[in-house]
Chains A and B, each alone.
Chain A
Amino acid sequence: MEPFRSLTGVAAALPMANLDTDQIMPKQYLRGVDRHTGLAEGFLHDLRFAAPGVPRTDFVLNRAPWTQAKILVTGPNYGCGSSREHAVWGMRQLGMGCVLGSSFGGIFADNCARNGVPAITLPLPEVERLMALAGDPLRCEMTVDLERQLIVTPGDGRTLHFAFDALKKDMLLKGLDAVGLTLQYAPEIRAFEQAHLRTQPWLA
């Protein structure tokens, strides 16, 4: 996993509530067996395109400066629905590396953490402030500094401290391989498993 320390760039606002992973990555893009390629086009496909290859010119990600967006400011419960990790892979492939919102689909947020993408939960008034800034082409640039847990918005001269899970932060900052870390505990897992199955043999 690539480390994430800090990201500066254009933020785009997606204010819709409950934007589900079926919309973030529609079914026609779920045919692959590869997580690395081919999913950028599928990201928010029906919102971005009126027909295959025909962009909706009024959609935020198709308008300057948001064609360069690196950060998404999202409405409540963004990424709800299906567990498809393709929703995160596609976003990364299109060049976006951070999402900010008042709440996220739980599996989606976990998937983000496993792909070097901080999904940062903020109080609703702060999301509304960032949403307003992201909607303004002259003030939409911001910095997300994970190490110091700060969102810096030159557009209004503010700096916001955010809460973030310590374990996920460490994984993201160092770009750690979660499987490798857990396998350090392999003897402990094996011992737990043996006791678990010995005391409750019907679980085997």
Chain B
Amino acid sequence: MTPRTLYRRIVDAHTVRALGDAGQVLLYVDRQVLNEYTSPQAFAALHAAGRTVWRPAATIAVVDHVNPTTPERNAKTMVIADAERSLQVRMLAENCARHGIALYDMLDARQGIEHIVASEQGLVLPGMVMAAGDSHTTTHGAMGALGFGIGSSEIEHLLATQTLVYTVQQSMNVDVRGRLGFGVTAKDLVLELIRRIGADGATGHVIEYTGEAIRALGVEGRLTLCNMSVEAAARGAIVAPDDTLFQYLHGRARVPQGVLWEQAVAGWRQLRSDEGAMFERSVSLDASAIAPMVTWGTSPDQGATIEAAVPDPAQEGDATKRRSALRALEYMGLQPGQELDGLPISHAFIGSCTNSRIDDLRDAARVLRGRRVANGVRALVVPGSTQVRAQAEAEGIAQVFREAGFEWRQAGCSMCVAMNDDHLGPGDRCASSTNRNFEGRQGPGARTHLMSPAMVAAAAVTGALTDVRRLLPSDIAIPAQAGIREP
């Protein structure tokens, strides 16, 4: 048999049948997560056609996009004033009740951002196929699974049939040699990759990450990496499972226990690309050469190291990229040649499915300990889930954020996508641990600079974009799980 990539092996293991000869298959999907804003239209179509849900136990539902993140959480604060958003949440509850789907609603102790909750609960296991009505479903590749985002029509298809009509993608290998340096995180790695290959660099491909730097990353760092791979247009991003992952999974709510666990791990150890498997594309990066990154533009590929200056669009040879850069600089209020280090900010935001897990909060807290948010900066931290929030409180991290002057809020997508009441105003400039610096993403006219949580913390306390390495204790020399490990 021809050697296959891990991606192809997962696809083949989920192929119910080939459909025609143009490369499509009917793909069985093991898990789905629903949210409140992309699922109501799918249920409406399902009901209009008189159909039902194929396998309700394969699905969970989470309220995450429109819920408030007020610091207090109770039946009085978790009320949505906006009638339309409130209806979305109510319809999710009704649809879940009608079809017997588990719902983690706004007051549930398991509530949080769908992609944080799924891995935290052990919902997605190695070798699975996972789909959800959210583009950042690529996140789950960190579990040695295939995860990808779908639209509402596909959600309907999945609810009704537990399958998707799937176009098999090409395979791309991103090999990362060496180790990430002091103060450099998975976020910096993925921002460098996107800068290098472009926002459409992985179009039509599923990435498999390999190499020493990937093995050295903790699971939460891998989740960040796979999450943001979609910003390079990847249709999936996979890290082959290993002991680091098995340790992370063991004992989680939805993970098999006992004999079944032993059987499962034995099976999962076989999940890797075959020797000699061909990748249609390969990219190689040297982890040790990567520095902390920030974006200067309005596309995730418009990034640079914190040591760099804003590039001059006139030096860009490609006309389309030149026009994009010019428009981005105008929107961002920046001049070519301006230093990024020292650029004043008005807001700092730590949150999102990319960077709001416990390791992310620990990284930021290390920078914040004993420091205060600069005058004139509003700083928010929105933990990725209610469980992450509780853990951070138990570890004393919440106290570090509060003492530094951060707002310590409840879990949700919040100011990453600004679909609830958390948003920026026109001209606000935000250091943000999120995934998209698109025009208007965090609010109309708002200016977003993407970076790691530790870099956001550094910007919050200095009031300007700052190289976090200047603020870290010099005895922390080893790069980390998500980021920066204690010595």
Contacts and interface: CB of A to CB of B under 8 A. Distances in A.
A78 B441 CA distance: 16
B150 A178 contact: no
B205 to A, nearest CB: 10
Contacts of A204: 57
A103 interface: yes
Contacts of A196: 14, 28
Given A46-B444, A76-B320, A114-B153, A188 B16 contact: yes
A160 interface: no
B30 interface: yes
B321 A85 contact: no
B286 interface: no
Given A27-B419, A107-B135, A189 B152 contact: no
Interface string A19-42: 010110011001111110000000
B267 interface: yes
B30 A182 contact: no
Nearest to A124: B320
A83 B115 CA distance: 14
Interface stretch (B71-79, B82-90, B388-396): B82-90
Contact of B260 (A75, A183, A201): A201
Contact of A46 (B127, B150, B440): B440
A46 B41 contact: no
Interface in A94-121: 103, 105-107, 110-111, 114-115
Interface string A26-63: 11001111110000000000100000000000000000
Interface of A: 15-18, 20, 22-23, 26-27, 30-35, 46, 75-77, 80-85, 88, 103, 105-107, 110-111, 114-115, 165-167, 177-180, 182-183, 185-186, 188-189, 192-193, 196, 200-204
Given A179-B51, A182-B26, A34 B44 contact: yes
B122 to A, nearest CB: 10
A70 B308 CA distance: 44
Rank and list the top 8 A-B pairs by shortest CB-CB distance, nearest first.
A114-B153, A31-B84, A85-B151, A33-B40, A77-B200, A111-B151, A202-B256, A202-B264
Contacts of B162: 189, 193
A201 B127 CA distance: 13
A20 B235 contact: no
A105 B299 CA distance: 14
Contacts of B44: 33-35
24 contacts: A18-B324, A22-B436, A30-B419, A31-B66, A31-B88, A34-B44, A81-B135, A83-B134, A83-B135, A83-B151, A105-B233, A106-B204, A107-B135, A107-B151, A114-B151, A179-B49, A179-B161, A182-B160, A183-B51, A183-B161, A185-B16, A189-B162, A200-B267, A203-B125
B167 interface: yes
Contacts of A77: 199-200, 203, 233
A142 to B, nearest CB: 21
B407 interface: no
A20 B54 CA distance: 33
B1 interface: no
B436 A20 contact: yes
B440 A23 contact: yes
Given A22-B436, A77-B200, A115 B37 contact: no
A167 B88 CA distance: 34
Contact of B418 (A23, A27, A201): A27
A110 B38 contact: no
A179 B87 contact: no
B279 interface: no
Given A27-B418, A203-B125, A80 B165 contact: no
B417 interface: yes
B16 A106 contact: no
A189 B16 contact: yes
Nearest to B261: A202
B87 A33 contact: yes
B439 A46 contact: yes
Given A186-B161, A188-B16, A17 B320 contact: yes
Contact of A20 (B152, B165, B321, B438): B438
A62 B261 CA distance: 61
A22 B441 contact: yes
Interface string B15-40: 01101111010101010000001101
Contact of A182 (B161, B263, B301, B320): B161
B17 A107 contact: no
Contact of B91 (A15, A33, A115, A189): A33
Interface in B424-446: 436, 438-441, 444
A34 B156 CA distance: 14
A185 B320 contact: no
Contacts of B156: 179
Interface in B393-432: 417-419
Given A33-B91, A46-B440, A85-B152, 18 more contacts: A17-B324, A22-B440, A31-B37, A33-B40, A82-B134, A85-B153, A88-B151, A105-B233, A106-B203, A107-B151, A179-B156, A179-B160, A192-B16, A202-B125, A202-B260, A202-B267, A203-B30, A203-B128
